[in-house]
Amino acid sequence: MVDMKPKRSLIKVYFVTILLGCWLAWDLSQADKNAPPEYPSYKVAAELDARTEATAKVAIVRSDDPELAHPRPVDDEAIDYETIEQMVRRAINLAGGLQWFISSGDMVLIKPNIVDPEEPGTGEVTDVRVVKALVKVVNEIDPGNMEIVIGEGSPRPMDYEMKYQTSRSKPCWEKLWDVCGYQELLSDPELSDINLRLSNLNGSPPENPWQDLVEVEIPGGGQALPQGGSYWIHQDVLNADAFITVR
């Protein structure tokens, strides 16, 4: 008699292997269906709705620019606010001004880059003197009739945001603006006649930061698919007529 057990065992191995292969192929096919579609995080210039000749201009102004009223050496560590304001104004003029996208009565959101609670000049935050100069230039479009908001949502949490950020053991901020000098803009006598306020774009009331945020659905989901196809965005961002980012 011929022992059939080895053949039967081999058949079982083949059967299980084929079954696992079919299951793996099916699983891979389903993974593609659930993956978010490719969605570029940028657009080429030709696809931007607001693209004009002005958007393609870049202006770089050094502190030793001879066109400035009081040029200073680029390695001068004591460059004062007056020089910085001159540099900001010249850069804006060279780039075509602001009037082509900002009108009288607009709400203008200026977004500096505030990472850590560091002093200006450290490279961690946008120098507050640059933002101050920009606020003055924006207000001059129609003095007293512009609504200017300086807004930022730092990735570093404040104390009341800790429950939303489990990756950190302690808060980085007590108040978002104090260390960087931005809070002082509200009491700056040179800005006293300007409609200016600060906005924490992460939501500001400690008791309920969500009340400032609005859930916005992204058409087609886009890059928000992992978040259910929507983002929570501060109402100041949604209500602004113009945006200016300052690095």
Q: What is the mean pLDDT of each run of 10 residues along the chain (247 residues)?
A: 55 68 69 57 57 71 94 90 96 92 96 82 86 97 96 72 57 66 94 94 77 88 78 93 93
**Contact status, residue 84 vs residue 222, Cβ threshold 8 Å:** no
C-alpha–C-alpha distance, residues 87 and 67, integer Å: 10
pLDDT for residue 63: 94
- The two tokens of residue 243 are 């945006």
C-alpha–C-alpha distance, residues 241 and 110, integer Å: 11
Q: Pinpoint the alpha helices (H) of the chain.
A: 5-34, 81-94, 128-139, 235-239
Give the 3-state secondary structure of residue 135. Answer: helix
User: Tokens 């906005």 appear where?
Assistant: 199
Residue 222 falls in which region: left (phi positive, over 0), alpha (psi -120 to 50) or beta: left
Of 215, 211, 8, 247, give the one whose Cα is nearest residue 123: 247
**What are the residues facing 233 on neighbouring strands?**
214
Of 150, 143, 148, give the one whose Cα is nearest residue 198: 150
pLDDT for residue 2: 46
H or E, element range at 214: strand 213-217
- The two tokens of residue 194 are 């300007």
